[in-house]
Amino acid sequence: MRDSQLLAERFAEPVIIEHGGGHVIPDDPAITMRIAGFVAHHRRITTP
């Protein structure tokens, strides 16, 4: 977890989603909706 926090600190406005399910996407709608919202918001890939 500490490595993930160090990585997040390198971004201007990181979004951190924590869950107790290990390395799986949980099926709790409260969490999956946040993940889906994040992905939808960042769905465009831009290149310099």
Answer whether residue 32 shows pLDDT above 70.
yes
Q: Where are the domains of the chain?
A: 2-41
Task: Judge whether 36 and 27 are in contact, CB under 8 Å.
Answer: no
Answer whether residue 48 shows pLDDT above 70.
no
Task: Judge whether 25 and 34 are in contact, CB under 8 Å.
Answer: no
Q: pLDDT by residue (tens digit) across 5-30?
A: 898 899 998 888 777 766 676 788 98
pTM above 0.85, yes or no: no
Task: Judge whether 26 and 32 are in contact, CB under 8 Å.
Answer: yes
State the amino acid at position 9 in one-letter form. E
Task: Judge whether 25 and 32 are in contact, CB under 8 Å.
Answer: yes
Task: Judge whether 23 and 9 are in contact, CB under 8 Å.
Answer: no
